[in-house]
């Protein structure tokens, strides 16, 4: 059987932080993409949001999400952004949030739907769980991915992101 889950690229944020994590020149030779993100942002809050953009475009992104806050479950949507939560700088020290982002048929000629699960558990109030249904209404093949702070803050040192390609044959 084929080896179907292959690392394409990875990124680790160094000292001083980074305003974005970028994957470029993504080959079209896979079927789906998977991203594992471990992140913390510099914003002076407990939680911040990480957004994703494709091919250098911030247009035609939308999402609906289910958010668990530790005390309630709520759902909302965005007609402009595709995002999920990450811990920020006043969260429990040394705590990073996890995200799993799956993008089927990223190189195809239809719109691109996205599945995104994220958690920011910190053993404190303000921690959140996010389930996100996202859409990039664009038929272009995805060749680059940008992860950044929705509030224009930085990813903090030791944040990591791994991009995998998934082959169906």
Partner 1 sequence: MAAGSTYEPIATTTLGSTAASYTFSSIPSTYTDLILVVRAALNAAGDIYVQFNGDTATNYSITTLYGTGSAAGSTRFSSQTQALIAYYGNLTSTLGNTNQIVQIQNYANTTTNKTFISRGNNAGSGLDANVGLWRSTAAINSIKLNNSSTTFSVGSTFTLYGIAAA
Residues at the interface with partner 1 (CB under 8 A): 1-7, 31-32, 36, 62-67, 73-77, 102, 104-105, 108, 110-115, 117, 131-135, 139, 164, 166-169
Tokens of 88: 């920020």
Residue number with CB closer to partner 1 (18 or 39)? 39
- Tell me the closest approach of the beta carbon of residue 1 to partner 1, in angstroms: 4
Longest dimension (CA), the chain: 48
User: What is the spatial distance between Cα 154 and Cα 18, in angstroms, rounded to a whole number?
Assistant: 5
Residue number with CB closer to partner 1 (46 or 82)? 82
- Tell me the closest approach of the beta carbon of residue 19 to partner 1, in angstroms: 26
- Tell me the closest approach of the beta carbon of residue 128 to partner 1, in angstroms: 13
Shortest CA distance to 102 belongs to which of 87, 112, 111?
Answer: 112
- Tell me the closest approach of the beta carbon of residue 165 to partner 1, in angstroms: 10
User: What is the spatial distance between Cα 121 and Cα 119, in angstroms, rounded to a whole number?
Assistant: 6
User: What is the spatial distance between Cα 1 and Cα 42, in angstroms, rounded to a whole number?
Assistant: 44
């Amino acid at each position: 059987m084929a080896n179907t889950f292959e690392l394409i690229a990875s990124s680790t944020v160094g000292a001083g932080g980074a305003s974005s994590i970028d994957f470029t020149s993504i080959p079209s030779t896979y079927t789906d993409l998977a991203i594992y993100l471990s992140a913390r942002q510099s914003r002076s809050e407990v939680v911040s949001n990480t957004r994703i953009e494709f091919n250098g475009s911030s247009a035609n992104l939308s999402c609906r999400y289910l958010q668990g806050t530790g005390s309630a479950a709520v759902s909302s949507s965005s007609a402009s952004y595709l995002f999920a939560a990450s811990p920020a700088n006043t969260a429990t020290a040394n705590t990073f949030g996890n995200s799993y982002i799956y993008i089927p048929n990223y190189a195809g000629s239809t719109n691109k739907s996205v599945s995104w699960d994220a958690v920011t558990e910190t053993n404190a109030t303000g921690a959140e769980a996010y389930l996100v249904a996202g859409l990039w209404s664009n038929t272009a093949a995805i060749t680059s991915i940008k992860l950044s702070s929705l509030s224009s803050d930085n990813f903090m040192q030791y944040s990591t992101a791994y991009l995998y390609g998934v082959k169906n044959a």
